[in-house]
Copies of this chain bind each other. A is one copy, B any other.
Amino acid sequence: MTYSVDTQALVRRYLHTVNSGTAADVAALYAEDATVADPVGSGEVHIGRRAIEGFYSGLAAAEVNTELLTFRDGGHEAAFMFEITVGDKFRVQPIEVMTFDRDGLITSMKAYWTPADVIS
């Protein structure tokens, strides 16, 4: 655990790619065996880059905008709050936690939000 990564730059790259990239582009930011829980508590975890690409493909048809609101570094991890707007009817500010490997690939992502947090 002696490696160093710029977690804030990696989080900004992730949000930018969610904004403007394809599902494959986003999946490529993840390690091959990464896991995604979004939202945490749903009982569903996407395991592996292929499943993760499938998860993000749900956003592909819509206009997506993201904005980083608060960032907290944790070494090889980071926690942050951001706003995501999908189309003109879905807006939410999740808290996410990401872990990163020495290559800067995301090894896990957990998104904390519920339908009650959606801003109408």
Contacts and interface: CB of A to CB of B under 8 A. Distances in A.
Interface of A: 1, 39-43, 70, 72-81, 93-95, 97, 110, 112-114, 116-117
B75 A95 contact: no
Q: Indicate how many identical chains form the complex.
A: 2
Given A95-B95, A97-B97, A70 B81 contact: yes
Contacts of A81: 70, 81, 95
Contacts of A112: 72-74, 77-79, 97
B72 A117 contact: yes
26 contacts: A39-B74, A40-B74, A40-B75, A40-B77, A41-B74, A41-B76, A42-B75, A70-B81, A70-B95, A72-B94, A72-B95, A72-B112, A72-B113, A72-B114, A72-B117, A73-B112, A73-B114, A73-B116, A74-B112, A77-B112, A79-B79, A79-B95, A79-B112, A81-B81, A81-B95, A97-B110
